C-alpha cells in the first residue's frame, strides 16, 4: 500500500493536470500589464479560488516504494536505496551492477 505522502503527491498531480489550462489563462491575464487593473484583479481573485492541490509547486517527486522525497532517480521513480535493492534483486530491466 502506498505511503500517505505518495497518495498526497498523486492527488496533487491529478489536481494540477486537471486545472492547468485554466490556471495558465488566469495567470496570463493577471500578469498582462496592458490590460486594465480591474480585469487583472478579477483574474487574480479567480486564481485565489483554486484549491491547494492545483498549484504546480505542490507536486514533489517521491519514491513510489517508500515515499521518500530526496535522492530520487527520476527515470525509475525510486529513491537511491530502493533503486539499489531492486537492482541487486534483478527487478529493474536493463540495470546491472557495474564492475570494472
What are the tens digits of pLDDT across the range 73-93?
989 989 999 999 999 998 988
- Check residue 4 and give its pLDDT: 81
At residue 1, does pLDDT exceed 70?
Answer: no
The CA distances from residue 65 to 9, 73, 88, in Å, are 13, 12, 16
d(CA 78, CA 12): 18
d(CA 54, CA 65): 24
pLDDT in tens, 12-40: 999 999 999 999 999 999 999 999 999 99
**Is the pTM of the predicted complex or chain greater than 0.85?**
no
Amino acid at each position: 500500500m502506498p505511503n500517505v505522502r505518495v497518495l498526497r503527491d498523486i492527488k496533487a498531480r491529478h489536481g494540477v493536470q486537471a486545472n492547468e489550462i485554466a490556471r495558465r489563462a488566469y495567470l496570463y491575464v493577471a500578469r498582462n500589464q496592458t490590460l486594465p487593473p480591474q480585469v487583472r484583479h478579477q483574474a487574480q481573485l479567480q486564481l485565489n479560488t483554486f484549491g491547494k492541490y492545483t498549484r504546480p509547486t505542490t507536486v514533489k517527486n517521491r519514491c513510489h516504494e517508500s515515499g521518500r522525497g530526496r535522492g530520487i532517480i527520476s527515470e525509475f521513480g525510486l529513491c537511491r536505496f530502493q533503486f539499489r535493492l531492486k537492482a541487486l534483486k534483478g527487478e529493474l530491466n536493463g540495470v546491472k551492477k557495474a564492475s570494472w
